Structure 1
Amino acid sequence: MSVNTYAPNPSNINPKRQKDKYGTSLDQNLLGISQKGEQIIIPDRSVVKIIENRGDKALVKALSIPETLEVSKAKLSTFPSIKKGFRKVIAIDIENQNFMVFEKSKQTNEWELISYVYTKTGIDSELGYETPKGFFTVPVVKYVMPYTDETGQKAGTAKFAIRFCGGGYLHGTPINVQEEVNKEFFLRQKEFTLGTYTGTRKCVRTSEGHAKFLFDWLVGSANKDSNDQRLSEDAYFIVF
């Protein structure tokens, strides 16, 4: 099972800035109650296990949270399915601003590192949040992810976006509308800052070329008539 609480809010209207003791924001996430009565937040798309069914509630254990928590059962999803035998993992190292891509070999059954690159992750801001930590499923991949400014107007786009938590994606370098006329210049300028400091709205940023590599690796045979794509097989994010 995984948490499914994402509600698109591109204009960032009335964001829920409340945080729990672990520093996780409530916005787009699930509020759970511990056995001690504490309010603890489980990020959207976190992998969870149901410990006990309680009518319209469920006692769950999220891999990234020590406590078992009672949550609304309506906020849990069986999509994407979680099963043994998965072969693809993306691991995000927030402290060192890099990430690793692993694939389990069909020949040797051993995990292999297939990519290791610099990144940029989220920071709390007027429009943004820190990138949440945890273990996440991947519900959708997009050719293009638009983003807005503080007024809700389109500000630009990022290509080859992989959603892993709420409005948080791993995507290629974002390009503002006014930068499109000299896109290659701005790509180089922005990609030079990867691996240095945080600064996104929640997302995990990589170069556009590397984002395309990940898109192709996850999707395989894409549907050219749709912006949204399904994964060819299960994959997971680990953010730490």
Structure 2
Amino acid sequence: MYRKITLVMIGIIMVTVSSCAYRRDVPPEEEPDSRQQPTPSVEQPREDKLAKSEQEAVEENINGFEIEDDLRITEATDREEKNRISCLSQQQKIALLKNIGSKEMNTVLEQYEASLPEGLNDSIQYFEYDMDYDYFLITNEGGAEILENPVPDATVVARVENLDKVSLLQRLEGEVFEDSTIWYRVAFENGNEIKEGYLHSTEGTPRNFRFDRMQDAINELREQVAQGALHFISNYKYENGVPPQEGDAAVDEYGYRVYHSAPAYEQADTDSEFRYIPDGILVRILDETDELYHVNVPTFNGDFYVPKQYIDPEVTLSQLNHVIVVDRDQQNQASFELNENELNLVSYTLATTGIAGDFSFVTTLGSYKSIQKRERFEYLESGTQDIAGYAPFAIRFTGGAYIHGVPVAYEEQDGEQVDPGLIESLHTIGTFPRSNMCVRNFTSHAEFLYNWMDSVNGAVIVIE
């Protein structure tokens, strides 16, 4: 039984940090031998490697911000649970839009009538957080007031807190406020009652599930697999050798980490220019030399040369059955099942990705193999080798990055660490990046994915 923690916030909003050019010193626990060429490790059967990595299921701190901060934000909301405001379901919003009219004072600029794109079927199997495809995220630290009309002094219909989410109906022009005339007509559920009103554009930001872009990304990968089996880079925790490094940067100019990566050379020469290619990323072997594979990297849209120890030629993605697509920009995700020429939407929900920080990294873009599943793994306190907690229902797709449920920090009782039990939700999920590379889900959704995902014939795609 989950310890269910439901939503709100006291006043924190963060500005996400762009990852592409972010460079900093390598944290001590992942510092490789500077400027060395990779040394092949003693080759082991893949089954032995996976068994060993299962036993060593302890990762660096998976939280970009301390999980206690997220819990405090969430607990502040929990006090007002019976008065909580939430998004409508997609069905509720469709019904509302059928009867919606434009008030005389409104000039409607856009009506939010998103639907699934042609070729994508509604086959939803997860229903815990049923919400519509277009929503408005409150980002005003002090919360906001939903008004009866799009004018600053209108009657207040309801109050929403920072990081709350409400359904989007229309974008329109109303009376000027803070040098802008843009307002949003929104709807929400309070108890069993559906209400609507207006929020000024300065109170938050519109978000949506970009199913069309997700569909495009999957179709591109489907076409790649149809052309022949794909392989993937394997260098989890340097298991296949330490890559070369230039300088003291922990990431390259594209945001890819030294740790868990392999060198991708521009020419068939280990003295040539290279970039990092991360663990788990999908590649196609084109040719080979004695020491290198010539590969095409769909994510990089180019060809490179990778030392052979970083690719197991016996393990491939030759059939694509399940795909999870994470939208880093919108902080949401969806899972899809492929059946011959069909594409079925199995679930969609909010998600939280990684942020660049002193001990954390962004969730990097690309197409990755679903490498392995762990019912739980433990993580360390930042800058130490002390175990701080664990993450449940995890799917690893690159390095130490997983899609997983809400992290659980161990509690200390009588000098011993005690598991306080699973936590279902955090109010910060689906808002802004807060983790360390990992993709944080509601725990029930992570469990659903854990049981559903075909890790042999599955992939994870991260889009922007």
The TM-score bracket by the shorter chain reads: 0.7 to 0.9
Q: How does 1:13-32 map to 2 (within 5 A)?
A: 17-32=249-264
Instruction: Supply the AA of the counterpart residue of 1:73.
Output: K
Change (3 A) 1:147 1:74: same
SS in 2 for 1:201: coil
User: For 2:238 and 2:311, how far apart are their aligned partners in 1?
Assistant: 17
SS in 2 for 1:170: strand
Please say if residues 80 and 139 of structure 1, whose CA atoms lie closer than 8 Å, have aligned partners that are also in contact. no
1:45 partnered with 2:242: no
How far apart are residue 156 of structure 1 and its match? Answer: 0.3
Partner of 1:210: 445
Q: How does 1:46-195 map to 2 (within 5 A)?
A: 46-78=281-313, 80-84=315-319, 86-105=320-339, 109-149=341-381, 150-178=383-411, 183=421, 187-188=424-425, 191-195=426-430
Please say if residues 8 and 167 of structure 1, whose CA atoms lie closer than 8 Å, have aligned partners that are also in contact. no
How far apart are residue 35 of structure 1 and its match? Answer: 4.0
Alpha-carbon displacement from aligned partner over 1:123-165 (angstroms, at most 9, x marks no partner): 1223221111111112210011100112110100111010000
How far apart are residue 78 of structure 1 and its match? Answer: 3.8
1:7 partnered with 2:241: no
User: For 2:277 and 2:446, how far apart are their aligned partners in 1?
Assistant: 27
User: For 1:201 and 1:156, how far apart are their aligned partners in 2?
Assistant: 14
Instruction: Supply the AA of the counterpart residue of 2:302.
Output: E
**Bigger Rg over Cα:** 2
User: For 2:384 and 2:255, how far apart are their aligned partners in 1?
Assistant: 27
User: For 1:181 and 1:142, how far apart are their aligned partners in 2?
Assistant: 17
Q: Quick one: percent identity of the two aligned structures?
A: 28
How far apart are residue 178 of structure 1 and its match? Answer: 2.1
5+ residue gaps in structure 2?
Answer: 1-230, 240-244, 413-417
User: For 2:285 and 2:305, how far apart are their aligned partners in 1?
Assistant: 10
User: For 1:77 and 1:120, how far apart are their aligned partners in 2?
Assistant: 31
User: For 2:291 and 2:448, how far apart are their aligned partners in 1?
Assistant: 42
User: For 1:27 and 1:68, how far apart are their aligned partners in 2?
Assistant: 22
Change (3 A) 1:79 1:218: farther
Alpha-carbon displacement from aligned partner over 1:165-196 (angstroms, at most 9, x marks no partner): 00001100001012967656x644xx211110
Partner of 1:197: 432
Please say if residues 33 and 70 of structure 1, whose CA atoms lie closer than 8 Å, have aligned partners that are also in contact. yes
SS in 1 for 2:237: coil
Could you state the TM-score of these two structures normalised by the residue count of structure 2? 0.44
Could you state the TM-score of these two structures normalised by the residue count of structure 1? 0.82
Instruction: Supply the AA of the counterpart residue of 1:6.
Output: Y
SS in 1 for 2:329: coil
Alpha-carbon displacement from aligned partner over 1:104-124 (angstroms, at most 9, x marks no partner): 246xx4101111111111112
User: For 1:79 and 1:135, how far apart are their aligned partners in 2?
Assistant: 19
1:237 partnered with 2:454: no
Please say if residues 34 and 67 of structure 1, whose CA atoms lie closer than 8 Å, have aligned partners that are also in contact. no
Please say if residues 237 and 259 of structure 2, whose CA atoms lie closer than 8 Å, have aligned partners that are also in contact. no
How far apart are residue 42 of structure 1 and its match? Answer: 0.9
How far apart are residue 71 of structure 1 and its match? Answer: 1.2
Alpha-carbon displacement from aligned partner over 1:15-55 (angstroms, at most 9, x marks no partner): 97443332322211111111494321111011111122011
Alpha-carbon displacement from aligned partner over 1:184-232 (angstroms, at most 9, x marks no partner): 6x644xx21111010111101101111110111126xxxxxxxxxxx4x
Please say if residues 404 and 438 of structure 2, whose CA atoms lie closer than 8 Å, have aligned partners that are also in contact. yes
Please say if residues 45 and 166 of structure 1, whose CA atoms lie closer than 8 Å, have aligned partners that are also in contact. yes
Please say if residues 58 and 70 of structure 1, whose CA atoms lie closer than 8 Å, have aligned partners that are also in contact. yes
How far apart are residue 80 of structure 1 and its match? Answer: 4.3
Please say if residues 138 and 162 of structure 1, whose CA atoms lie closer than 8 Å, have aligned partners that are also in contact. yes
